[in-house]
Amino acid sequence: MAVLGRFRRHGAASGAPSGAPSGAPSDAPPRASGLTWLSAFRHPWVALLAGAVHTGSFAPSPAWWLQPLALAWLCWAALGARPRRAALLGGLFGVGWLASGLWWLYISMHDFGHLPGVVSGLAVVLLAAFLSLYYALAVGLAARGSGPPWARALAFAALWLAAELARATLFTGFPWIASGYAHTQGPLATFAPWVGVYGITALSACAASALATRAWRLLGVMLLIVSLGQVLPSGFTQPAGELAVSLVQPNIPQDQKFDRDRFEDNLNQLSTLIESARGQLVITPESVLPLPLAWLDPVQTERLQRAAAQRPLLLGTFLGNEQAGYVNSLVALGTPAPYDYGKRHLLPFGEFIPPGFHWFVRAMRIPMDDQAHGTHQRALSFAGQRLRPLICYEDLFGEDVVASALDQGEASATVLVNASNLAWFGPRMVQDQHLQFSQMRALEFQRPLVRATNTGATALVDHEGRVVSRLPAEQAGVLEVRVQGRRGETPYARWLAAFGLWPLWALAVLGLVPVLIHRRRAR
């Protein structure tokens, strides 16, 4: 009997039916086929596709829900793989996402920089691959974690948040289409004035990873948080009067903007649009004068000043000199007091050249390719409002804008103003993406934001992030809007001004604690 008992225990451990020899065939279906079927959905090529699906959650698409679903796939695939393969999946997901979301950079390099098509396409892929290293590292580390499903889900979300923060801050930052921006509409948008775009990133990543790991209790907690978010207090700012604004969209093709033979015609077109404006203040796009204001012909300067005498003008041009450098600026003409604003957060490769890349930028012959930084952030006081300019992609950095969302100091603003020129990148996708970033800033700080652009998207965004009015892309015209200024401070503005992004970094570290505790106990 003792021998028989040992035989039965051995048979049970080996997977054979009780009472049968260990080598007897089993009636259960082989597990290998099921694993092979599932492994097809974890193939690296699927990661590229999932990344492209992730891009489909951003403007102009309204399908915000694709963002957490695509991320849930990545979490499911990566946490079921070895760390190296998980890192590969994370990196390829990032390449699929960022290459498909930044493809319009090809237009600037090929059509206007005159680089060969192969070189331009390769440059886009290499940029996407470099930025994807953050996600490869994060997902690879997530796969090394152990513990119950809820702990691994939290770790994945924490590392995803850390990767997004790193991309937004290191090497001057390039947070274009960060995952939280997909949620300018949908249930997570209500959290913007509380936790900002990266807090939304964390909430979405946590819900996605809870779904992927089948951590049902954690998923239930996330659904409860989202439900409570719909009834959170939201009226943090109050009306502060109105201002009639004229937003000029000249629609000057980029290949003609710096053409000396076309300069006179372009300036006449711009002046005509300014003279036709009816608002209390006229705002032009950035660098609408593609040369320093001091270089302008006296006759042309006089025409602009006459127009500004009728309606004050915020004009995009350059200030500075060859010794100190030229600054991409907005200059006020016709206002009671002199005012100018210089761009402070410059765009790599387009406005400043990173060390070692002069050869690449010089090959594209970009005018004004190495600019100087602006020096102040004060707002323009006009007609009872305080307007805070932001030039081009400066409105991607809420941490740079937050001083203007507080009711104190010279930077305090009732209206945010973005002046951009996206003609470098064509009309498709990039304009809608940039408009979506402006919507997120309006949601975070509950301030209206007006946009004056060369070819689009010229628009008014209200303090709730809604696009109230917009000119069609690639159409010359003036958008006449009445913007309601706002005063007050959101919770996000208060803690961001006090601590910067450090509370979010702390949240990322905190999310790793459960798996670290489990790993230590296991040892």
Instruction: Tell me which residues are annotated as active site.
Output: 286, 343, 392
By the 10 Å C-beta count (0-12 exposed, 13-18 middle, 19+ buried), 263 is classed as middle
Q: How far apart are CA 322 and CA 434, in angstroms?
A: 31
Amino acid 28 reads A
CB atoms within 10 A of CB 321: 11
Tokens representing 219 are 């998923």
Q: Which one-letter DSSP state was computed for residue 204?
A: H
Dmax (CA) of the chain: 113
For residues 38 and 73, the answer to whether their CB atoms sit within 8 Å is no
Question: Which CA distances in Å does 446 have to 133, 163, 201, 441?
Answer: 34, 27, 19, 8
Give ∠ CA 510-168-355 in degrees, rounded to 5: 130
CA 203 distance to own-chain centroid? 16
CA 454 distance to own-chain centroid? 21
CB atoms within 10 A of CB 213: 24
Question: Which CA distances in Å does 386 have to 221, 378, 413, 415, 462?
Answer: 42, 9, 5, 6, 16
Which residue matches tokens 């809608």? 432
Q: How far apart are CA 305 and CA 288, in angstroms?
A: 15
Question: What is the H or E stretch that residue 69 is in?
Answer: helix 66-79
Mention every residue, 6+ apart, whose C-beta is less than 8 A from residue 130: none
Strand partners, 385: 382
**454: number of CA atoms within 13 Å, CB side?**
24
Tokens representing 246 are 């004229």
Question: Which CA distances in Å does 398 have to 113, 292, 439, 441, 493?
Answer: 30, 29, 12, 7, 9
3-state secondary structure of 380: strand
Q: How far apart are CA 306 and CA 323, in angstroms?
A: 31
Q: How far apart are CA 487 and CA 490, in angstroms?
A: 10
Q: What share of the chain is helix, strand, coil (3-state, %, to 5)?
A: 55, 15, 30
Sign of the alpha-carbon torsion through 437, 183, 487, 241:
positive
For residues 331 and 314, the answer to whether their CB atoms sit within 8 Å is yes
